[in-house]
C-alpha cells in the first residue's frame, strides 16, 4: 500500500500503516542525530523546552553534507538509527510520531512504537542525492555549533519512505527477509 | 631522482577526495547493475533501481552519493626514487582539507574519541604509506563511512577452528550487521598475520576491485563460496529482503604464528568509494 501523509501526524493517520508499505511524507521534518539527542535529553532533564514541538513530529536521523550555493540541502540520506535507541522511548512517550532512519531498533524502541501508536520509517541508506531531492527548504533551528549534527527544520514534499516498524508490531527487517526466503522454498 | 612538491600532492589529494565521493568505481557500479538484473525479488529489484537512480542524480547535481563522506583513508605508494619537497603527511592533510571544503563534503571527524569535538575540516587523514620500487607516487583516497565501519569485527580464532571457523565468523558478522551497513554490502576480509596486520589486510582487501578474484585459487574459491552463502541469508538490499545482500568480497591472507588464526572483516557498503591518481 502507498500512503500520502502530512505532518503533524496523528495516531489515527498512522494506525493503518504496515511494515513494507510506502509513505510519501510532506510537511515539516526535524533533523536530529547523536549529539542533538544527547542535548535534547539534557534539556528534558532540566525541565526545559525542546527546540521543536514534539507532539506529532517526524524526526529524521540525518547529517547532511553542506549545501552548494543555489541548493537548499546537500546529500541527505539516513544514519544508523540504533545509536539513538537509548533516547527514543522517552521522546515517543512525549508524542514523537515518526522516526526516519535506517537499521534495526532495540526491543525497547519496538515496544514503545506499539505503545504510542508511532512508526519508524526507512529512508534509503546511502542514497544521499535521492533523499535530498524531496527537501524544499532548510533552516537550522538549534545548536549550529554541532555542524552537520545541528537541528534543522526541513520542509519536504513526497519524501519516499518505507514503513519499517508499525503500530501493530510489524517489523520489515524480520518479515521482509522471511517472505523472500519462504518464496524460495515454494519453488 | 624525481622531485614531487607538497603542493602537487595536496592538489591531487583534493581532487581525489571529490572524485571518490561523487562517482563510484566501475567495478562497484557494474556489480550493482548486474545484481539488479539478476535479483528475483520485486521489492529488492526496485530498491536496487533506486540506488542506481541515486548514482545518476549525484552525477547530475554534483552531489555526494552518500551524505557520510567519511573518514579520508589515504593509501600511499611512495617510489623509493622520489625526492619529496616538503612534508608528505602535511601535504595529504592539506589536500583533504581543501577537497572537503571545495567539494561541499561533510566534515565527520572529531579530534578526540572521548571529548568529541569536530575538527571542522575532516582532518586528520588516516594515512597508510608503503615504500615501493620506482619513481612514482601513487595515492588512493578511499573515504569510509561509519554506518558500515561500525559493523566491522576482528577475532583471534584458534588454529583448530580452521576454515570452517573463519566462515562461521564472517557469516555471523554479516548477520549481526543486518540492515545497519546499508546492504548490499562489500566485504574486505583479512586472514592471518597478527592482531594489527589482520585489520590492515581487511582494509587493503577493500581496495581490490571486486571483480578481481584472489590470485590463489584456494582463496578465490573461498571468496565465491562466502559470497553465495551471504546471498542466501535473505537480508537483501537495505535489509528489506531479497537475494542481493553482498555485491562482492575480497580476501587478503598472509603468514601467521603457529598458534594464531586472526580474521578480520572490514564491512563496507554499496557506496564503496576509492579514487587513485599518480604523480
Ligand atoms: S554505510 Fe555506506 S552507504 Fe550507508 S550511510 Fe554509511 S557510507 Fe553511506
Parent domain of A81:
2-186
| Structural domains counted in chain A | 1
CB-CB under 8 Å, B58 with A173: no
Identify whether residues B155 and B187 lie together within a single domain.
yes
This prediction's pTM? 0.93
pLDDT at B210: 96
**Of the partner residues A75, A79, A80, the one whose CB lies closest to the CB of residue B64:** A75
Q: Pocket of ligand 1, candidates A77, A129, A130: which has the most ligand atoms within 8 Å of its Cβ, to mutate?
A: A77
Cell of B186: 562489500
Could you read off the pLDDT of A28-79 as tens digits, one per residue?
Answer: 999 999 999 999 999 999 999 999 999 999 999 999 999 998 888 999 999 9
Could you read off the pLDDT of A93-120 as tens digits, one per residue?
Answer: 999 999 999 999 999 999 999 999 999 9
Q: Is the pLDDT of residue B98 over 80?
A: yes
Where residue A103 sits, what CATH number does that domain have? 3.20.130.10
Is the residue at B231 inside a domain? Answer: yes
| Structural domains counted in chain B | 2
Could you read off the pLDDT of B104-155 as tens digits, one per residue?
Answer: 999 999 999 999 889 999 999 999 999 999 999 999 999 999 999 999 999 9
Q: Rounded CA gap, A69 and B104, in Å?
A: 10
Identify whether residues B127 and B233 lie together within a single domain.
no
Ligand 1 lined by B236 (C-beta under 6 Å): no
- CB contacts of A144 in chain B (<8 Å) are none
Spatial CA neighbour of A29 closest among A100, A86, A90: A100
Identify whether residues B8 and B139 lie together within a single domain.
yes
- CB contacts of A20 in chain B (<8 Å) are 43, 240
Identify whether residues B122 and B80 lie together within a single domain.
yes
pLDDT at B1: 85
Give the mean model confidence (pLDDT) for residues B216-243.
Answer: 97
Give the mean model confidence (pLDDT) for residues B56-82.
Answer: 95
Q: 495516531: which residue's cell? A: A11
pLDDT at B256: 98
pLDDT at A122: 97
Average per-residue pLDDT for chain B: 96
CB-CB under 8 Å, B58 with A125: no
Boundary residue ending a domain (B124, B143, B162) = B143
Q: Is the pLDDT of residue B200 over 80?
A: yes
Ligand 1 lined by B271 (C-beta under 6 Å): yes
Q: Pocket of ligand 1, candidates B269, B273, B274: which has the most ligand atoms within 8 Å of its Cβ, to mutate?
A: B269
Parent domain of B258:
147-273
CB-CB under 8 Å, A180 with B57: no
Residue B94 confidence class, pLDDT cut points 50, 70, 90: very high
Q: Rounded CA gap, A133 and A160, in Å?
A: 10
Identify whether residues B139 and B152 lie together within a single domain.
no
Amino acid at each position: 500500500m502507498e500512503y500520502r501523509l502530512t505532518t503533524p501526524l496523528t495516531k489515527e493517520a498512522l494506525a493503518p500503516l504496515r511494515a513494507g508499505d510506502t509513505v510519501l511524507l510532506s510537511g515539516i521534518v526535524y533533523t536530529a542525530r547523536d549529539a542533538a539527542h544527547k542535548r535534547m535529553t539534557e534539556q528534558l532533564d532540566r525541565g526545559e523546552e525542546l527546540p521543536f514541538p514534539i507532539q506529532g513530529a517526524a524526526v529524521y536521523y540525518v547529517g547532511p553534507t553542506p549545501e552548494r550555493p543555489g541548493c537548499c540541502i546537500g546529500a541527505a540520506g539516513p544514519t544508523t538509527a540504533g545509536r539513538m535507541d537509548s533516547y527514543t522511548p522517552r521522546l515517543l512517550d512525549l508524542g514523537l510520531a515518526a522516526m526516519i532512519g535506517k537499521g534495526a531498533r532495540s526491543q525497547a524502541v519496538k515496544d514503545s512504537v506499539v505503545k504510542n501508536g508511532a512508526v519508524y520509517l526507512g529512508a534509503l541508506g546511502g542514497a544521499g542525492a535521492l533523499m535530498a531531492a524531496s527537501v524544499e527548504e532548510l533552516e537550522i533551528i538549534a545548536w549550529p555549533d554541532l555542524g552537520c549534527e545541528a537541528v534543522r527544520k526541513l520542509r519536504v514534499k513526497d519524501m519516499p519512505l518505507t514503513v519499517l516498524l508499525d503500530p501493530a508490531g510489524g517489523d520489515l527487517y524480520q518479515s521482509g527477509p522471511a517472505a523472500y526466503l519462504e518464496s524460495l522454498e515454494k519453488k | 631522482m624525481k622531485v614531487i612538491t607538497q603542493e602537487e600532492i595536496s592538489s591531487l589529494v583534493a581532487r581525489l577526495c571529490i572524485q571518490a565521493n561523487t562517482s563510484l568505481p566501475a567495478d562497484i557500479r557494474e556489480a550493482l547493475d548486474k545484481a539488479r538484473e539478476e535479483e528475483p525479488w520485486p521489492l529488492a529489484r526496485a530498491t536496487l533501481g533506486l540506488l542506481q537512480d541515486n548514482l545518476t542524480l549525484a552525477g547530475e547535481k554534483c552531489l555526494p552519493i552518500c551524505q557520510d563522506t567519511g573518514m579520508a583513508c589515504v593509501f600511499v605508494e611512495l617510489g623509493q626514487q622520489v625526492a619529496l619537497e616538503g612534508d608528505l603527511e602535511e601535504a595529504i592533510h592539506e589536500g583533504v582539507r581543501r577537497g572537503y571544503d571545495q567539494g561541499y563534503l561533510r566534515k565527520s571527524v572529531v579530534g578526540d574519541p572521548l571529548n568529541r569535538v569536530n575538527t571542522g575540516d575532516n582532518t586528520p587523514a588516516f594515512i597508510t604509506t608503503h615504500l615501493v620500487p620506482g619513481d612514482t607516487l601513487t595515492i588512493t583516497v578511499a573515504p569510509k563511512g561509519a554506518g558500515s565501519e561500525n559493523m566491522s569485527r576482528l577475532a583471534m580464532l584458534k588454529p583448530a577452528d580452521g576454515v570452517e571457523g573463519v566462515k562461521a565468523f564472517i557469516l555471523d558478522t554479516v548477520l549481526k550487521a543486518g540492515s545497519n551497513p546499508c546492504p548490499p554490502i562489500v566485504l574486505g576480509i583479512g586472514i592471518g598475520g597478527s592482531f594489527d596486520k589482520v585489520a590492515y589486510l581487511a582494509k587493503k582487501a577493500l581496495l581490490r576491485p571486486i571483480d578481481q578474484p584472489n590470485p590463489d585459487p584456494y582463496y578465490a574459491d573461498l571468496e565465491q563460496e562466502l559470497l553465495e552463502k551471504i546471498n542466501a541469508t535473505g537480508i537483501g538490499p537495505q535489509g528489506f529482503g531479497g537475494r542481493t545482500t553482498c555485491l562482492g568480497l575480497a580476501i587478503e591472507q598472509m603468514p601467521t604464528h603457529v598458534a594464531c588464526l586472526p580474521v578480520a572483516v572490514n564491512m563496507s557498503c554499496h557506496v564503496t568509494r576509492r579514487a587513485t591518481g599518480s604523480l
